[in-house]
Amino acid sequence: MLAVCSNFRQVKAGASSHVGPVQAADTDWWPMFRHDLAHSGYSTSAAPLTNQRLWAYGTGGCIYSSPAVAGGIAYVGSEDYGVYALNATTGAKVWEYVTGGPVDSSPAVAGGIVYVRSGYPDDNVYALNAVTGARVWNYTFGGPVGSNPSLSSPAVSEGLVYIGSTDGVYALNASTGALVWNYAAFSVGSSPAVANGIVYVGSGDQNVYALNAATGTLVWKYATRDYVMSSPAIAGGIAYVGSDDYYVYALNAATGTLVWKYATRYWVESSPAVVDGTVYVGSDDGNVYALNAATGTSVWKCSVQGGVASSPAVAGGVVYVGGQVFVYALNASTGAQVWSFRYGSSGGPDWSSPAVVDGKVYVGFIDGTVYALKTGSPSPATGFPFTDQIIARAPIILAAALATIIAMAVVVVRRRKRRTQHGREPETPATPEKA
């Protein structure tokens, strides 16, 4: 699938337009959602320049979880209730831990522990031994039954695990799982970012929150006009985040005041990556956007097949992002397509976001497969090769699918109701609005 891109700037002589590997002395692991606590979405790793499939591993359910890769192991969750540890080089299963609910959350690896949450009907945060998969502790949420936003992924900082749930933001002791604090907010499906002693997160009550990381007290909040599923990225004193009101926002990280906002044409559930003064983000309008981080002006946009809920990863001058059928590699300076890879025979909303480590891209898809891609001979289109695993785990898959359908139906009804109240229609991208 060829992506159609519009470039709004000229690449100046000497500018960083090179697409190629960036060598690092040590492996730059991708240990959590969006790579790091500030959610930069950036790796110093070499970048795969073709889409050769290194391996593919089939689970028994859809994958909305984004892989974390650390210590030679790729960790990912599945809607078959499992958390998987896979050899990052071969794809062989190292261990699997079965929770009591679909695992759409993306794992975070810190201090030899894998932290991840499960959704309804389980609604737990788990701490698992990264080597063996043995459970260290789990914490059960107490929010409303059946509507927990299980996409929220943990951030681990200064001995605390931060994560969202239906009834707010939680901080748990990373060693014991004991509750340290929680801040009440509605339906927090966004994943917390942590920078300079502040936790940044979006919420279903349409707000972006900044909370004191040690105490959970409110530092500031900023009201958008719809659900904030996107997870903030913090760079240069600015918090960048999308909203279902179709806008990408740049907010002063210390005060919450608006710096600029940019209108797309549909929901922005993708979480921004911020690299070298450029913000990269997807939208459900079917575009990947590159915006000037200081001004919000468009650098380029690239039209792909289907909406883009996946969050971009940037490495070696290339932007990697998932669509509804393909994963794309785009030139970070121009938006031109470097390559695309077809996940499988079916398409649909895909929240799994790429992780780039040691010249490889790791990503999951709704067909239940985790893929590892690398530089080499281009791979053909693929279908789903793991029918036996689906049959073996059919009862779990059906239960997970039913829970997912119910949760998605609730979200759609709520969004439609909000849009009816707001009277919003898709907006044509325009010059960014500033404070």
| Model pLDDT for residues 353-402, shown as the tens digit of each residue | 999 999 999 999 989 999 999 987 665 544 334 444 444 445 554 554 55
Contact 173, 180 (CB under 8 A): yes
- pLDDT beyond 50 at 426: no
Report the distance separating Cα 428 and Cα 382, nearest Å.
35
At 19 the pLDDT is: 35
CA angle 393, 397, 402 (to 5 degrees): 155
Q: Worst-scoring range by mean pLDDT, 170-184, 245-259, 336-350?
A: 336-350
pLDDT over 90 percentage in the chain: 73
At 350 the pLDDT is: 76
**pLDDT range class, residue 149, cuts 50, 70, 90:** low
At 351 the pLDDT is: 87
At 27 the pLDDT is: 85
Contact 300, 5 (CB under 8 A): yes
In the sheet that holds 82-87, the strands lie side by side as: 68-70, 73-77, 82-87, 93-98
Q: Count Cα atoms within 13 angstroms, Cβ side, for 190.
A: 38
Q: Which two tokens stand for residue 177?
A: 């799982």
Report the distance separating Cα 252 and Cα 388, nearest Å.
51
273 or 18, which is more confident: 273
- pLDDT beyond 50 at 427: no
Look at residues 146, 144, 139 and name the one whose alpha carbon lies nearest to residue 163: 139
Residue 223: exposed, middle, or buried by beta-carbon count in 10 A (0-12, 13-18, 19+)?
exposed
Report the distance separating Cα 371 and Cα 368, nearest Å.
10
- pLDDT beyond 80 at 13: no
Residue showing tokens 């903030």:
232
Most confident of 1-5, 14-18, 193-197, 373-377: 193-197
Contact 394, 381 (CB under 8 A): no
The H or E element that residue 200 is part of is: strand 198-202
Torsion of CA 394, 102, 144, 227, to 10 degrees: -120
Report the distance separating Cα 89 and Cα 372, nearest Å.
8
Distances (CA, A) of 296 to 247, 258, 407, 431: 11, 12, 34, 8
pLDDT tens track for 20-62: 333 334 789 999 999 999 999 999 999 899 999 999 999 999 9
Task: Say how many C-beta atoms besides its own lie within 10 A of residue 319's C-beta.
Answer: 27
CA angle 252, 65, 273 (to 5 degrees): 30
Contact 432, 297 (CB under 8 A): yes
Question: In DSSP terms, which residues pair with 240 in a beta bridge?
Answer: 233, 250
Report the distance separating Cα 323 and Cα 233, nearest Å.
21
pLDDT tens track for 203-253: 999 999 999 999 999 999 999 999 999 999 999 999 999 999 999 999 999
Look at residues 168, 171, 172, 165 and name the one whose alpha carbon lies nearest to residue 150: 165
Residue 175 φ/ψ region, left for φ over 0, alpha for ψ in the -120 to 50 degree band, beta for the rest: alpha
pTM confidence score: 0.86
34-434: CATH architecture: 7 Propeller (2.130)
411 or 347, which is more confident: 347
At 8 the pLDDT is: 52
Report the distance separating Cα 82 and Cα 354, nearest Å.
19
Task: Say how many C-beta atoms besides its own lie within 10 A of residue 211's C-beta.
Answer: 25
Residue 121, preceding peptide bond in cis (omega within 30° of 0): yes
Q: Count Cα atoms within 13 angstroms, Cβ side, for 150.
A: 34
What would you report as the CA-atom Rg of the chain, rounded to the nearest whole angstrom?
A: 20
Report the distance separating Cα 2 and Cα 154, nearest Å.
35
pLDDT tens track for 313-334: 999 999 999 988 899 999 999 9
Task: Say how many C-beta atoms besides its own lie within 10 A of residue 423's C-beta.
Answer: 6
Q: What integer best gives the mean pLDDT of the chain?
A: 85
The residues near 16 (Cβ < 8 Å, ≥ 6 apart) are 276, 317, 332, 333
At 142 the pLDDT is: 80
3-state secondary structure (DSSP) of residue 158: coil
At 434 the pLDDT is: 65
Task: Say how many C-beta atoms besides its own lie within 10 A of residue 306's C-beta.
Answer: 17
